Amino acid sequence: MRKVRLTTRGKAVIFIGIVIIAVLVVVLINKNTSQVKNSDGEDNSVNAEVQTNTDNLVDEKSVEIEALENIINEQEKQIEALKNKIKIKDKKIESMEDVVGQSSCSIYFESKNVCLNKMYYPELNMFVKWAEMINKRKIVIEGNVYAPKDKKGKAYGLKFSEKRAEAAAEYLVKQGVQRDRIIIIGNGASKPVYFEKGRKAEELNRRVDIYFQ
């Protein structure tokens, strides 16, 4: 068999061909690797976008749930307030004496003054509401003064305390209470609620007590 000898040029051509093939193989491998990486990157990007959308949806639903809970809580408060308002209508009052005993008020006056302080209007208005419910009872209004030494005389204290009671009675009548239901009493300084001397005694004993007979 005859042997074929390659010339130097032939060997060079073959070597160059092998190099070219190797380069092509490397290029193809890098291209495939890049595509795989890109594919992984796209998958990661898609997964991140899906996760973000999911988180946003969860946040939106959480806000909606919280808003609904607030509405429910507010409605429960309104229902409770309504129950408190109608409680007295639904409750069976076994003893009218208990109601009468709890339906009283006291208002206080400045020194040497017979004018009502506006701060007591709400309390007097509440008593008017009670008077509408307990409409068969007389209303007693007792006026009092602070005069430990009775400097101006007993008669003066009695008259001054009566004027304070009259001031309270006048307010109740203006709010709709019948005048013939009211009994005016001037105690002077004979019925103190605080027996010590000083500013506290003055403030607590310059008063009018209102209650049902």
Domain end among 60, 91, 122: 91
Query: Token pair of 50, please?
Result: 């899906």
Find tokens 């390659």 and name the residue.
Answer: 6
Residues 149, 131 contacting (CB under 8 angstroms): no
Residues 107, 208 contacting (CB under 8 angstroms): yes
Find tokens 């009670």 and name the residue.
Answer: 130
Question: Residue 79's domain spans which residues?
Answer: 7-91
Both 162 and 181 in one domain: the answer is yes
pLDDT at site 120? 94
Find tokens 């204290």 and name the residue.
Answer: 157
Q: Is the per-residue pLDDT at 81 higher than 70?
A: yes
Q: How many domains does the chain have?
A: 2
Both 86 and 128 in one domain: the answer is no
* Higher per-residue pLDDT: 139 or 197: 139
pTM of the model: 0.53
Q: How do residues 14-73 score in pLDDT, each as one tens digit?
A: 767 776 787 777 777 776 666 655 555 555 666 677 677 777 777 777 777 877 787 788
Both 83 and 138 in one domain: the answer is no
Both 58 and 105 in one domain: the answer is no
Both 72 and 112 in one domain: the answer is no
Residue 35 φ then ψ, to 5°: -65, -40
Both 62 and 46 in one domain: the answer is yes
Residue 106: pLDDT band (50, 70, 90) is: very high
Q: Is the per-residue pLDDT at 104 higher than 90?
A: no
Both 30 and 104 in one domain: the answer is no
E strands of the chain, at which residues?
Answer: 105-108, 139-143, 182-186, 207-212
Residue 1 lies in a domain: no
Q: Is the per-residue pLDDT at 95 higher than 80?
A: no
Both 109 and 46 in one domain: the answer is no
pLDDT at site 97? 58
pLDDT at site 60? 77
pLDDT at site 122? 94
Domain end among 91, 122, 148: 91
Q: How do residues 129-181 score in pLDDT, each as one tens digit?
A: 999 988 889 999 999 998 765 556 678 889 999 999 999 999 999 999 999 99
